[in-house]
Structure formats: C-alpha cells, structure tokens
Structure 1
C-alpha cells in the first residue's frame, strides 16, 4: 500500500555523512565567518583540520570543484547537496596549496580523495583552516555530532534525512 500511494522512491532517505577531513568537529556557530556561523548557506558542522586530506563524505556525484580548488560540491545518492569549504578566505589563494583529485560529474564513494591541501600554506595566507560542511538544499531532518575528534572517511559527523 505504501509503495502504491507514494512510490518506492518517495520514502525518506538518510545519509550518514562521514568527516571529509580529520580533526575536531565543532558547531557551525564557531566558524569565524557569518556566512557559515549564521547558516546563510545552510546547516551542517565544521572541522578544524589536523591534516590536509579531504575525502568524499558520502557516496555521490561531484557537482562542482571550484576553479580555486578551495571548495567542492557533492550530491549524495539520496539527493542531498553538500558543500565542503576548505578554510576561510581561501578563494584569494587562487588554488595555491590545493590539488584536486576529482572533477565535475565524477562518481565518488565515501572516503575517496577529493582534494589535498597544504595546511601550512592556508594557515599562513588565509584567515583560518576551519572547514565547514554544509547542506545546501532542503532536508527534513539533520542530526550533528560535534565536540569529537574525527577521522576522515570514518567518523560520522551528520545524519541527514531527505
């Protein structure tokens, strides 16, 4: 009956979002940039990175790798769109210190390498290394897991229901 009324693809879908970077998980409210701390782009968490490997937080498709390689958009198989923004004021680095391993349209699995970043360069030349992970489209529910140390590709930092 449920499938007949709603169709099998209309049932809620959940993403278990793993940390794209290793480090300390903090609430978005602690990001020293109002665009993120006031959730203008969406809700999520941020990570203060301890290393420069950025991996896919979910299975999905790369929507965009910014030309400056400081941010990546990914759509999960359930249709949730995520933005990983590496550091603050990093667009002005024009790609310095960043190496992309994926491009638009690439299919990825959680844990696949997306970007390698030289955190020393970002620390010296940008305002912060903090890395927000933001849901940029509408979802029905989101649960975040902050105040923990996360390992990229392993530690769940968000449960998101579409």
Structure 2
C-alpha cells in the first residue's frame, strides 16, 4: 500500500472509533496536569486523568486484555480489542513497596471487563510509607495528534467506580 492509500485508509476510520474510560475508584476526578509527578502531569507517557480515592478498590477503566501487571501490584496496562492501551497506576511512589499494601489475583494475559476490580489497596499503609494517593489513568498509545480527548470532570458529585465517565477518546 502506498503512502497516499495508507493515509486515505486511516482517514476513513479516524474519528469513528470512540472509547469512554470510567472512574477507576470512588472519589474525585482531576485533570492529569494536577498530579504532583512530572511523568504524569507533563504527559510524558500519555494523556489521561487522575483520581483521588475515597475507596480502597481500583477498577478497570475499560475492558480488554491485561498486557502488563506490575510485580509490585501497583500498575496495570489494559489493551482493548481495538488497540487502545491504558495504564492504571495506583498511588505515587508505590513501586517502592514491592507489593506490600496491595491485593490482586490478576495476572498478565487475563481479560477484564470495564468496571471489574483490579486491585484492593490499604490507604493507611500507603500513606504511612510516604506514598501519595493519586491514581493516574493514562492512554499510553495515544500520541497521534488526531486523537481527541474530552475530560469529564465531576466537580459536584463524587465519581462512582465503574460508572462515572471520566474521559472520552475519539480517533484512535
């Protein structure tokens, strides 16, 4: 396929694909720029949103296959059937805990549905170890300038895990 045909094929579906990421926990949704970690706030690994949890359970923002589950049980990467890749990172500086304070049965290769529980965490333990309770949710393969992101902040009511739409992506 030549470059022109490839571009025409891309333009046919560009903007037609759409996905909605739901809140991964009960709590407040914030723009990714407000996360006090430059890797996330400067969008070094992608666009997204974050949550400040009031619950100790983190759910899948989309359905798909787990193509990465961190050994420390603090991060999960999900690939949807149509190729969207989403990272859920529970807490900041939590990798140093080596899995302490986290409980999950999930493994790489398993399939999850939107809203399924990914991990349970001990808020008090994380705080006592100096970890900050922000949960970034990042589209890690969304670097195309044609992607459109619509953050749906929920300032009046607490977001509900697995129910409240947090971010809509078009054009991936």
Q: Cα distance, 1:101 vs. partner?
A: 2.7
Corresponding residue for 1:109? 113
Shift of residue 77 of structure 1? 2.3
**The structure with more radius of gyration:** 2
Find the aligned partners of 1:103 and 1:10 in 2 and give their Cα distance. 32
Q: 1:158 maps to what in 2?
A: 167
The one of 141, 145, 148 aligned to 1:141: 148
Structure whose residues are more often strand by fraction: 1
TM-score (norm 1): 0.90
Whether the 8 Å CA contact 1:45–1:134 is kept in 2: the answer is yes
Over aligned residue pairs, what C-alpha RMSD do you find?
1.7
Q: 1:147: how far off? A: 4.3
Provide the residue aligned with 1:127 in structure 2.
131
**Structure 2 length as normaliser, TM-score?**
0.85
Stretches of structure 2 lacking an aligned partner (at least 5 in a row) = 1-7
Where does structure 1 differ by over 6 angstroms across 4 or more consecutive aligned residues? none
Flag structure 1 segments of 5+ consecutive residues without an equivalent.
none
